Structure 1
Amino acid sequence: MSNVFAVITVMVGLAITLSIYLDNFELPNLIWTFTRQDSRSYYFAGNEAIVRTRSFFSEPAHLGYYLNIIFFSNVFYHRAKTKKTVLFILALGIMLTLSYSMIIIFTVTCLTLVISRIINGNFSWSYWYLAVVFMLGSIMLYFWDFIDVTIIERTKDIISGEDGSANIRLLGTWIYVDKERLLYGNGIGHTPPITNIYAYVMSDFGLIGFIPYIGLSAYVILNSIPAAILFITMNMAKGGYLNPAFWLFLLFVFLYAIIPSIKEK
């Protein structure tokens, strides 16, 4: 059921993106009636030549967060018999968000999962992988100018320290931690929206909440390295423990990655 909803979400996102490219805003305005409609939410850096897919969500990164959850629940859970076309659609949806953090998370955790399976002897080669590489390679080649702007140049800016968004995400989110309330924190809901859940927990709950959450992260690391990489990076990419997507993420990580890993041991 989650896969069906996710695929529908991607299809709707593709339809909206295509409508915007064709300068037809009837469909986007209808679907986005109760959410954001400003151009900043779908144009990349104000560039009208690059449309970021966000479907029903208010931001492309939120769509990428959701699709990453569903994609990796399928590939982590060894009993899942998901059709490869579904996985391809989910992967395509993540790429079309042009969300730097979500694409990097997707790429890194994919590589980690493949390496882990090779080490454990659970990796089986399929010629279908060549088809996927060919299709994704063709898409990347066709959209290379967009990729150069959204990924390559963004990476250079992050490495050089010129990317303000990355600096805020990694360092700026900790400014709300009150040293005078280090033990108990500021209280639930007293931190403005920030993108790092670790800083969010430290700010609102203090050490009383932060230490157990670090312990939870350590527990995930001990049971599954690929799941841990996904867990930590996703927590640093999007904050908000009051957001339902956060609890969906926790549920799926434990249901389809951690619990099966424990049973195998």
Structure 2
Amino acid sequence: MRLNTLAKTGAALTASALVITLSSGPANAADDSASTGYAPASAPTASVSADGFLPGTGAKSAAGNKAAAGVTINKIGVRSGVLYRKGDNSVFLSALDGDPGGAAAKTEFTLRVGKKDHKVLLRGTNDGYAYFNTKSGWGSGKAWIRSTTVTYTNGTKSTSGTDSNKFYLRRATRTTANKPFKVTAYSPGTKIKFRASTFKVFKPSSGKYTSLGSIRLQYKKSNGKWKTVKKIKLNKKGSGSWTTRARTRTYRLYVPTTANVIGGQTGSIRG
């Protein structure tokens, strides 16, 4: 049996972060302020099925349980995942092309995160999407699958050394503030105060959210591109502020996506 899985669109587990209803308005009078919510980026939501590689999802090989033909992996693709909670975090497959070679009792991957290998079990959702769980304590950054091992119902095993693509396990960012970004103008064309509240990032070693340390304040240029004007330092609670003399512009707070952190941005405020 040769398995060719087709891409589907479905809901995948992503970072559980609070997205607040946006509110914006002019902030150009004394003690007047505007605020906006923070929208973190999310993991892709398309995945594939794993029929044949999961118990009870494929026909037995022609040889039956007594003589499995051996697993063949032509291609395996994995989407980048988000670490947002202590313990298990789901990572979804984007491609699985191959033949299990027999009736599978279970399928395991060897997952490389950083410089260490970990064994993870191939799983399927009720909707038929293929995924595995990575542990938050294994860390973030570049990762890939190094091999696939199928254990057959007769107890024998077969391994394919086909590598997956390189993907990233990124730490989630979030804010719990109702008004995470505020702009207060004390009078038109004079001082403006920018405030950021409770911006945090998931810390795999502790399983908790800690301060981002800093966040970028940006304004929108006439060509539609955003330019960073200040990195606002954040305290242990993830909050900070900056006051300056600035022109009336459209502003936002921005967190860049890196190999280890999944970023996002607030909505924009005219201030």
TM class, shorter-length: under 0.3
Q: TM-score, normalised by structure 2?
A: 0.21
More helix by share: 1
Q: Highest relative contact order (Cα 8 Å, sep 6+), 1 or 2?
A: 2
- For the pair shown, the structure with the greater C-alpha radius of gyration is 2
Q: Flag the structure with higher strand content.
A: 2
TM-score, L = length of structure 1: 0.22
